[in-house]
Amino acid sequence: MSQESSQTWTEYQAEKAKRHQVQVALGHTDVKEETFTEFKAEKERVEKLVDHHIAALKITISDPKLEGSMGSRVLSYAIETPALNYSVRRKFSDFEWLRNLLKERYVGMFIPALVPKLVTSPSLSTGIKRVPLLGGFLFCVGSHEYLREDAATLAFLGLTDSKEWAQYKAQVSTFAGGGDWLTQAEEAVLPADDELAKTLVTYKKKLAFHEAHLKALAAAAKEMAKAAAAKNNAVVGLGLVAKGYADADAASEPHGGTLSKSLEELANAFGGWGLQSEMEPIVYKLVLASGLTYQTLQLAAFRKLVAAYEFSLGELAKKTKKVKDLEGQKEGGKSEIKGGYLSKTKSMDDALGEAIAEQEAEEELVKILKGALFGTEIAKFEADFAAEYRKLVGMVGVGMIKVQADVAKAAWPIAGGDDKEAGRLLTLVQKVHPDFKQLSKIAE
């Protein structure tokens, strides 16, 4: 065996042992065990397809299409990765498969959220709405150094032949890859457990705080879209009024006086401006709503990661107690233990051995989850969430400024260029739409 093959064999054995304990703790006793050949093939696949430590992959999603016959129609999406010259079509079930596999491989890592599966019949309009949400998942995967370089991710992005793609999904090992990540999580240097417990309590409160702010921002975005629609209606209305005055003046003054020409210009200006602003409410709804929805999904997914760690802590406490109880019974002279309904009687040594193995497996899982959560994932999620939140707040803020500026712009010509009159009209609009002030505060 060459030195390179020997090193790969050592990596395989180390990961296999580590994976076995994690599988036991997670209850995955029926998972297909990865062979050395499969491990080596996955490793080589990554090295051939893409150089390690590449920059963030830009992955785009577009062109939702309905496929299949009536009664079994599904949506598919065009996915392109320009840097790798990949172009494929994937269904939602493919997205689900990829996320589930990544979640199993990178235990403890925060895997980007995925929009829930449709519970109604798919439609093209639904596909269009889901594009930015699925795009959020792909953006996060492409930005993560582990996830974007995973062989399964590259297969998802690059296998164009439908049969080859189906075969890959059926044969790939759930636990192939991810070894470096598990080692990193295990070796994380952390404070004492009591400090970590305090940190977790504090951060759970912060997640609730984030959730409240997202709800407030979503309400602000909704009101902003309504305000933009009201403003657009007002612009159209003012244009019609100006056109009416222009027509009336032209009828009374056939040769067209100065007033008639000014009113005509004003009507044309309102007409053109109205066409430009007509799409504003729709843009606000699409861009803001999808961004806010995805960040809400991200929060929910991170809560589940925290819950998984807390659940594993509880399981470890139970299994530790079970070992102590059995040790006490053994010391008391008991040599056998009865099983449950229809279970055979076990020797105390066998029962204690099984209990100790379960305890050690759970300890391994807790160690990985703890190292991941407190070593990298809380800090990374907080930084990513803060960046996206600032972007969304900025969008609401700029949108509100634009809406108010547009109202003032509409007021200006009607008020004859008088600042006081324009101000009074803007105040009137604010009274009609009191949410303006509330939105401004939230966006600050």
| Strands annotated E in 259-391 | 336-337, 346-347
Which residue ranges make up each domain of the chain? 3-187, 212-443
Which element (helix H / strand E) includes 91?
strand 86-91
**Tens-digit pLDDT profile for residues 5-24:** 666 666 666 666 655 555 55
Cα 338–chain centre separation: 48
Q: What share of the chain is helix, strand, coil (3-state, %, to 5)?
A: 75, 5, 20
Largest CA-CA distance found in the chain, in angstroms, rounded: 118
Residues with Cβ < 8 Å from 259, sequence gap 6 or more? 249, 253
**Pairing status of strand 74-81 against strand 346-347:** unpaired
Superfamily of domain 3-187, CATH level 4 = Phox-like domain (3.30.1520.10)
Predicted TM-score of the model (pTM): 0.73
Residue 15: C-alpha distances to residues 2, 35, 53, 179, 404 (Å): 20, 12, 21, 6, 60
DSSP, residue by residue, 394-409 = HHHHHHHHHHHHHHHH
- Find residue 61's DSSP bridge partners: 79
Rounded CA gap, 361 and 319, in Å? Answer: 10
Cα 117–chain centre separation: 14
Q: Cβ distance 224 to 396 under 8 Å?
A: yes
Per DSSP, 115 falls in state P
The residue whose two tokens read 């070796």 is: 187
Burial degree of 222 (CB within 10 A; 0-12, 13-18, 19+) = middle
* Polymer length in residues for the chain: 444
Would you say the C-alpha torsion 193, 195, 197, 199 has a positive or negative sign? Answer: negative
Rounded CA gap, 307 and 312, in Å? Answer: 9
Q: Which of 392, 220, 400, 398 is nearest to 290 (CA)?
A: 392
Q: Which of 296, 429, 362 is nearest to 27 (CA)?
A: 362
Would you say the C-alpha torsion 294, 297, 303, 307 has a positive or negative sign? Answer: negative
The pLDDT, as a whole number, for residue 178 is 67
The pLDDT, as a whole number, for residue 123 is 87
The pLDDT, as a whole number, for residue 257 is 55
Q: Cβ distance 145 to 72 under 8 Å?
A: no
The pLDDT, as a whole number, for residue 283 is 63
Rounded CA gap, 134 and 304, in Å? Answer: 19
Rounded CA gap, 429 and 443, in Å? Answer: 19
The pLDDT, as a whole number, for residue 264 is 61
**Tens-digit pLDDT profile for residues 282-340:** 666 666 778 888 999 999 999 999 999 999 999 999 999 999 999 999 899 888 887 65
Rounded CA gap, 392 and 387, in Å? Answer: 9
Measured between its terminal Cα atoms, the distance across the chain in Å is 65
Burial degree of 58 (CB within 10 A; 0-12, 13-18, 19+) = middle
Phi-psi domain of 178 (left: phi exceeds 0; alpha: psi -120 through 50; beta: other):
left
10-residue block means of pLDDT along the chain (444 residues)? Answer: 61 61 56 63 56 71 88 90 92 95 92 90 87 93 90 92 91 69 87 92 92 83 73 64 63 57 58 55 69 92 95 95 93 81 78 92 93 94 88 73 61 51 49 43 38
DSSP, residue by residue, 142-191 = HH-HHHHHSHHHHHHHH---HHHHHHHHHHS-TTSS-HHHHHHHHT----
Collapse the DSSP code of 41 into the 3-class scheme (helix H, G, I; strand E, B; otherwise coil) and give the result: helix
For 257-275, what is the HEC assignment?
Answer: CHHHHHHHHHHHHHHHHHH
